[in-house]
A and B are shown apart, each in its own frame.
Chain A
Amino acid sequence: MSLLSLFHRSTNRRPSRNPGRHKIHKIVGGIKPAANKARSLRSRIMSTPIPEMLVLPLLQHKGTPATPVVKPGDHVLKGQKIAAADPRGVPVHAPTSGKIIKTGQCTLPDAAGTLVSCLMLASDGKDEAIETGLSGDFRNMSKVDLVERIRDAGIAGMGGAGFPTHLKIQTSTASDIATLIINAAECEPYITADEALIREHARDVVKGAEILQYVTGAQQCIIAIEDSKIAALAELKLAIADSAIEIAIVPAKYPAGSEKQLVQAVTGREVPFGEFPASIGVLLHNTGTAFAVYKAICESEPSISRITTVTGSTLKTPKNFHVLFGTPVTFLLDLCGIDRVLLSRIVVGGSLMGNCLHDMDAPIIKTTNCLIAGSLEEFPEPLTERACIRCGFCADACPVNLLPQQLYAHCRCQSYQQAKDFGLIDCIECGACAYVCPSHIPLVQYYRASKSVVFQQQTDRKNSEKWQSRFQFYQYRQKRESEQRIQARAEQPSHPQQIAQAVFSREKARQEISEAVARVKARRANLIATSTLSSPSLSSPSTEPDEKP
Chain B
Amino acid sequence: MTEFLSIVIAAAVVNNLVLVQFLGVTAFYSASSRLQNSLEIALLTAAVLVTASLLNLLLTNYVLSPLDLMFLQLICFVAVSGSITVLILHWLREKFPVSLRRLHLHLLLVGGNSAVIGISIINTRNGLGLIENIANSIGAALGFALVLIAFAALRQRLDTADVPQPFRGPAIHLISAGIIAMCFLGFAGLV
Contacts and interface: CB of A to CB of B under 8 A. Distances in A.
Interface of A: 387-388, 409-410, 412-413, 415, 418
Given A409-B161, A410-B160, A418-B160, 8 more contacts: A387-B162, A388-B162, A409-B160, A412-B160, A413-B159, A413-B160, A415-B159, A415-B160
Interface string B150-191: 000000000111100000000000000000000000000000
Contacts, number: 11
A412 B162 CA distance: 10
A424 to B, nearest CB: 14
Contacts of B160: 409-410, 412-413, 415, 418
A250 to B, nearest CB: 36
Contacts of A413: 159-160
Contacts of B162: 387-388
Q: How many residues of B sit at the interface, in one of the four size bands? A: under 10
Contacts of A410: 160
B155 to A, nearest CB: 13
A418 B159 CA distance: 12
A388 B163 CA distance: 11
A422 to B, nearest CB: 11
Nearest to A410: B160
A413 B159 CA distance: 8
A20 to B, nearest CB: 51
A410 B161 CA distance: 9
Nearest to B160: A409
Interface of B: 159-162
Contacts of A415: 159-160
A423 to B, nearest CB: 16
A430 to B, nearest CB: 24
Contacts of A387: 162
Contacts of B161: 409
Contacts of A412: 160
A409 to B, nearest CB: 4
Pick the most buried of B160, B161, B162: most chain A CB atoms within 10 A of its CB. Answer: B160
Nearest to A411: B160
11 contacts: A387-B162, A388-B162, A409-B160, A409-B161, A410-B160, A412-B160, A413-B159, A413-B160, A415-B159, A415-B160, A418-B160
Nearest to A415: B160
Nearest to B157: A409
A435 to B, nearest CB: 21
A388 B160 CA distance: 12
A287 to B, nearest CB: 43
Nearest to B159: A413
B104 to A, nearest CB: 28
Can you list the 6 inter-chain pairs with the closest CB atoms, starting with the nearest?
A: A409-B160, A413-B160, A387-B162, A410-B160, A388-B162, A413-B159
A204 to B, nearest CB: 53
Contacts of B159: 413, 415
A413 B160 CA distance: 6
A409 B159 CA distance: 9
Contacts of A418: 160
A388 B161 CA distance: 9
Nearest to A408: B160
A362 B154 CA distance: 51
B5 to A, nearest CB: 38
B168 to A, nearest CB: 11
B152 to A, nearest CB: 14
A28 B162 CA distance: 29
Nearest to A409: B160
A410 B159 CA distance: 9
B83 to A, nearest CB: 39
Nearest to A387: B162
Nearest to A406: B160
A258 to B, nearest CB: 28
Nearest to B156: A418
A149 B101 CA distance: 63
A198 B159 CA distance: 52
B37 to A, nearest CB: 16
A410 B162 CA distance: 11
Nearest to A419: B160
A373 to B, nearest CB: 37
A410 B160 CA distance: 6
A248 B161 CA distance: 44
A409 B160 CA distance: 5
A133 B162 CA distance: 67
A418 B153 CA distance: 13
Nearest to A412: B160
B88 to A, nearest CB: 31
Contacts of A409: 160-161
